Structure 1
């Protein structure tokens, strides 16, 4: 349901592990670029669906939302409610990845207060530690929302470590959006054993790099980066809901 890396070796690994579809949502990449790369690698038994994991709120208190089925680009670091309203306008499926994880996710309260705008909660993430996945399952259970699972693969070898198995066929992007928005029956599945745990730990270790202040400085100083809300690509559409830099 969610990978950050995409190339021929990633697709080959997915195919070898019996994965029929990958949701590709890299950080800090605009939707047209995501869609172009997804189209390039989609086919030959593996559907690649473009998506955006949008960072809402300021960097130090960002709440991630995964939107599948977007037609128009949405920037990072806009207000939480504004992001939800924009996803609703586009009829996108809205998912909550890794709830209650550090300062990079929605809390129980966030999910409960906005359950009508959310289509599913991640209940297993290969990057998360066991207690974090237990908390995620509790959030889904308490809010009554369907679950989903993903490898959250930033590293190629994590692809296929966790997935979501739908009862119905998913042949294209619209099928997936419909299945998510209607709460279609599904199972959350993951591998086990020492290899699975080691791949998960390697992904978790990658989190330190991913959230380093060095990366923050590199990505968000000038305001011209691809998914910064003030980027010229968004015009002035989001000027009144910018949260980046908020105190």
Structure 2
């Protein structure tokens, strides 16, 4: 890392040697790695394996709260203990509070997968940042997020939200401080330090964003959902034995695959 500022692509879904190389070419100092349906120990192990002196990989979880049809995504950084998907919003927030995690709002007011403006306003004091630029989203959707952050006076963050390797480094959060490791990056979000949201421009950037947006169709097909939950014992379901029943009282999932079938 060089200079006194730190560029963080604050949400990526892929992590391999090609992603790391691209992030470095794109001038990123850190990326936040939060893959879907992957338990925290696996994420942390992979993040540590790909971190080096030039790029910090921050392990995180994008937790799905609520049921499949009305899930509210929360991006949590700085977790020490695993938190499953498909628990109640309050159950997730209570666990984040217990662990003193940094809680970010990805893609606000987008479809049925995000916190709405009233929900963000109601919980503003418990949230550390709201995503105001997401490469995957369309311009009017990002403009709406920027308006929400401005009206509620919440810190902003930006990310590529890369589900595809070529999107990494298309948008980022530039902190005014030098952040040399995972704890420093998490603290910067938790402490709401000054930052600027930056994204690339031009036709190539727009095309990458449109490709990512089109990828949503695959992300939300019933075929994929069916495959993920067919066994009923997937890694981030609250009923998985790894959670030792700690989340039974806030679980949305009852063990029936039909609980997740899109209405």
TM-score for both structures, normalised by structure 1: 0.98
Stretch of structure 1 that moved more, 170-179 or 119-128? 170-179
Match of 1:117 in 2: 126
**Matching residue of 1:224:** 233
Structure 1 residue 200 corresponds to structure 2 residue 209: yes
Match of 2:11 in 1: 2
**1: CA distance between counterparts of 2:70 and 2:252?**
10
Cα drift, residue 177 of structure 1: 1.6
Match status 1:241 vs 2:250:
yes
CA distance in 2, matches of 1:216, 1:139: 31
Paired residue for 1:86?
95
Mapped partners of 1:93, 1:115: distance in 2 = 13
In the alignment, the residues of structure 2 paired with residue 221 and residue 101 of structure 1 have an alpha-carbon distance, to the nearest angstrom, of: 27
Structure 1 gaps, min length 5: none
1:89-168 pair list within 5 angstroms: 89-168=98-177
Q: How far did residue 87 of structure 1 move?
A: 0.4
Pair 1:30 & 2:39 matched: yes
Distance 2:232 2:93 in 1: 23
Equivalent position SS for 2:11: coil
User: Match of 2:141, SS?
Assistant: helix
Cα displacement (A) at 1:223: 2.2
Q: How many Å separate the matches in 2 of 1:176 and 1:92?
A: 12
Higher alpha-carbon deviation: 134-143 or 155-164 = 134-143
Runs ≥4 in structure 1, deviation > 2 angstroms?
A: 244-247
Q: Displacement, 1:66?
A: 0.1
- Please state whether the residue corresponding to 1:2 is helix, strand or coil: strand
Correspondence for 1:40: 49
Q: CA deviation at 1:150?
A: 0.1
In structure 2, how many angstroms separate the alpha carbons of the residues matched to 1:151 and 1:35? 20
CA distance in 1, matches of 2:190, 2:39: 23
Equivalent residue for 1:17, pick from 14, 26, 34 = 26
**Cα distance, 1:222 vs structure 2:** 2.9
Aligned to 2:256: none
Is 1:49–2:55 an aligned residue pair?
Answer: no
Structure 2 gaps, min length 5: 1-9, 254-258
Would you say how many aligned residue pairs link Structure 1 and Structure 2? 247
Could you say what secondary structure the match of 2:15 adopts?
Answer: coil
CA-CA distance at 1:68 after TM superposition: 0.2
RMSD: 1.1
Alignment partner of 2:12: what SS?
Answer: coil
For the residue of structure 2 that corresponds to 1:87, the secondary structure is helix
- The 2-side partners of 1:44 and 1:15 are apart by 11
